[in-house]
Amino acid sequence: MLLKVREIMKKILLLLIVILVSSLTACQERPTENETTIIDDVETNLDVPSEVTSETSLPSQINGVDIAWHTNISGTLNNNTIIQSDIDQPITLTAVLTHDTKTRYKYFDVVVLLNPDLVTVTEPNDNDTFTGYYTLLNDVSDANLKTALHDLIDDHTVLDYGDLWTALADSDEDPNNPQNVILFYSGTPRSELLHGGDQDDWNREHSGQNHMVTLTPTM
């Protein structure tokens, strides 16, 4: 009888040890409710403006939560500071939040606006001269420039709408195949004879922009 009692006590003791070890392991692996709440609260409240108009420092720690920042565009982030340049740049910022064993990621789409002080503006030089097509404008005063430009470009031939088939075959000729034209918008070649209104035909409007052509009604 005594032996049976001892066996039962051993089994009970062993069971208690197993339960105790399991409880301690679970407590070590599972963060406390407070730890989870802290990092989740920081993630929820963390924010970055959608437009950055000056160098902006980003937080590296909030309420004990460490924050590491990363950007998808090189040169826009330095030591957790958003850096401007001479152009507007859309970037994606990644915030990596860590607290004890927990990690969170949060992403921000931001436009970093240019810094006007970094923009280089080349001022015109009074000694600069025109060459080639615009040579005749070198001695023209500011007051007469508009008239001079009009006179320069006014020596052109006006075509009827019907003449454009032939004219566009020359002006838009494919340099790799003189039997083709290059379509203005798509840049694809098409036989110069394949024009009209049927499917796969090219037409005058799709070859060039209509505001580039002077139309004279035919009687």
* Mean confidence (pLDDT) of the chain: 82
Pairing of strands 77-78, 61-62: unpaired
- Work out the pLDDT band at 14, boundaries 50, 70, 90: confident
Amino acid at 145: L
Please give the backbone phi and psi of residue 169, each rounded to the nearest 5 degrees, phi first. Answer: -65, -30
70-126 residue pLDDT tens? 999 999 999 999 999 999 999 999 999 999 889 999 999 999 999 999 988 777 666
Percent of the chain with pLDDT over 70: 79
- Work out the pLDDT band at 69, boundaries 50, 70, 90: very high
Average pLDDT of 169-181? Answer: 89
Q: Which residue has the tokens 């000729």?
A: 173
Tell me how far apart the alpha carbons of residues 134 and 131 are, in angstroms, rounded to a whole number: 6
Q: Poorest-confidence range of 9-18, 85-94, 137-146?
A: 9-18
- The per-residue pLDDT for 91 is 95
Assess whether pLDDT exceeds 80 at residue 153.
yes
**What is the 8-class DSSP label of residue 182?**
E
User: Is the CA virtual torsion 73, 78, 84, 85 positive or negative?
Assistant: negative
25-68 residue pLDDT tens? 655 555 555 657 899 999 999 999 999 999 999 999 999 999 99
Cβ atoms of 41 and 65 closer than 8 Å: no
DSSP run (H or E) holding 62 = strand 61-62
